[in-house]
């Protein structure tokens, strides 16, 4: 096959395709089999503020709303979908059960490469390091 400037074209093409396929190489060579992060769930409490599905998808929205309600509107009581009431507080309500940030929050946040800014204001709990 005759190509004009074949060498740089093939090299460029290989670099591009290689970059695109890096996740496959890393996936098979480094990761092996991927497992969802395993969370340390609270021992003495089975139900969170909302259902598991809701918390998985919407917890960031809930926390954001809680912050706005508590700090800007002075509303400190949250009624969940089942009608049960909770005190709006990250450190006193959430962290009462999920008392270990490293074993709970950080697991998924690291997995999804997100850095929520909760701890810019809140005191970092035990178990960070």
Contact residues: another protein, CB under 8 A: 1-6, 9-10, 12-13, 16-17, 20, 23-24, 26-28, 30-34, 36-37, 53, 56-58, 60-61, 63-64, 108, 110-117
Judged by DSSP in three states, 51 sits in coil
7 or 82: CB nearest another protein: 7
Specify the residue, 20 or 123, whose C-beta has the smaller distance to another protein: 20
126 three-class SS: coil
Min dist CB 73 to another protein, Å, is 17
Q: Which of 25, 77 has the CB closer to another protein?
A: 25
- Taking every pair of Cα atoms in the chain, the longest distance, rounded to a whole number of angstroms, is 75
CB 33 to another protein: min, Å: 6
Q: Which of the 8 DSSP states describes residue 30?
A: I
Is residue 22 within 8 A of residue 15, CB to CB? The reply is: no
Supply the minimum distance, in Å, between the C-beta of residue 62 and another protein.
Answer: 9
DSSP letters for 91-114: IIIIHHHS--TTTTHHHHHHHTT-
Closest Cα partner for 92 from 39, 43, 49?
49
CB of 53 to another protein, least distance (A): 7
Return the number of the residue (23 or 41) whose C-beta is nearest another protein. 23
- Output phi, psi for 77, to 5 deg: -115, 130
């Amino acid at each position: 096959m005759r190509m004009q400037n074949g060498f740089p074209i093939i090299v460029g093409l290989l670099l591009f395709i290689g970059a695109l396929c890096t996740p496959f190489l890393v996936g098979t060579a480094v990761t092996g089999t991927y497992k969802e992060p395993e969370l340390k769930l609270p021992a003495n409490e089975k139900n969170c503020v909302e259902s598991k599905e809701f918390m998985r998808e919407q917890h960031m929205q809930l926390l954001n709303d809680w912050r706005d309600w508590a700090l800007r509107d002075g509303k400190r009581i949250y009624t969940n979908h089942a009608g049960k009431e909770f005190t709006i507080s990250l450190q006193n309500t959430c962290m009462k059960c999920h008392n270990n940030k490293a074993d709970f929050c950080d697991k998924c946040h690291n997995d999804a490469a997100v850095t929520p800014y909760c701890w810019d204001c809140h005191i970092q709990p035990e178990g960070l390091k």
